Structure 1
């Protein structure tokens, strides 16, 4: 039963707010619930309003700390990527694609002259050229698949993680 001055026992306030008596005392110490002149009692309205104020503050702190955590994680990832790039554990995709294309061009050039160096017999030369063309076609197809995967990884949210390097 509430006192005429609006005071209720701490236990009753705890039951009303569905928290422990100790938590009520902590909220009083933290300034959310106003202190009462009468020991073991709190103001009914003050305790409800104080508890609501505490919950709102706690919610705001949680949201702010979650946002801060996301910013810290993004900064850490950016730093890791810069370090990986400097230590050559990570290279830009354009550089990788350019190097792959240059290497493929060199292989094609070297293999183009191989049949003529191996034999002067036209039938044998044509068989060797057909085999080389088959090998080059399979390599080109596989390189295109790899390049497609690299390009797709650019827009992937986890691109740049250690597994992609």
Structure 2
């Protein structure tokens, strides 16, 4: 029964206060209030209620929690959150890769980007025309046989030098390396 002496400074033996609610001092062992759970987990009271609503922290009664269940529920929430963050990061990487693939496909369709095989075919065609043109120069320049042989020797040397440089350029295109600049070569 309640306190009949009229002394309101003393608590009744019954853990229910005169207002019908348990006070923090009257909370049974192993049981904590929302405010105590919030302080324990370094969260707001509202965040504790959100975790309860999400099913991570079970309640014993309105605003009452088992201490162990609160800690375990919060740990479960943190593990789920970390797992979801990891999954989200993986999803972002996949989404970024798909976006990059779409951008490449659109660039190819807009002809801003061409396939390596197409680039190499165009490169080989232009190089072939250029080298063939150099080979025909001596015959176009003179009818004198000795002068033509002298010019052919010069053109053959130049054609070989250019063929070597073009081969380096083609190799750089295939491997994705930076092409050799014309400024890097000494003029001879």
TM-score range, shorter chain: 0.7 to 0.9
Match of 2:5 in 1: none
Alignment of 1:75-154 (within 5 A): 75-153=98-176
User: Among residues 50, 74, 77, which one is paired with 1:26 in the alignment?
Assistant: 50
User: Among residues 42, 59, 68, which one is paired with 1:45 in the alignment?
Assistant: 68
Give the C-alpha shift of residue 124 in structure 1: 3.0
Q: Distance in 1 between the 2:86 and 2:95 partners?
A: 14
Instruction: Give the root-mean-square deviation of aligned CA atoms.
Output: 2.6
CA 1:2–1:42: 2 relative to 1, 3 Å: farther
Deviations 1:65-120 (A, max 9, x none): 11211111121111111111112112221121122112222222222121011112
Q: Distance in 1 between the 2:58 and 2:36 partners?
A: 16
Q: How many residues align?
A: 153
> What secondary structure is seen at the aligned counterpart in 2 of 1:33?
coil
TM-score, length-scaled by structure 2: 0.68
User: Could you list the runs of 5+ residues in structure 2 that have no partner in the other structure?
Assistant: 1-24, 178-188
Greater RCO, CA 8 A, separation 6+: 1
Q: Distance in 1 between the 2:110 and 2:82 partners?
A: 42
Q: CA contact under 8 A between 1:33 and 1:46: conserved in structure 2?
A: yes
User: Could you list the runs of 5+ residues in structure 1 that have no partner in the other structure?
Assistant: 155-165
Deviations 1:16-52 (A, max 9, x none): 434444432332233211134253x432111111111
- Of the two, which has the highest radius of gyration? 2
TM-score, length-scaled by structure 1: 0.76
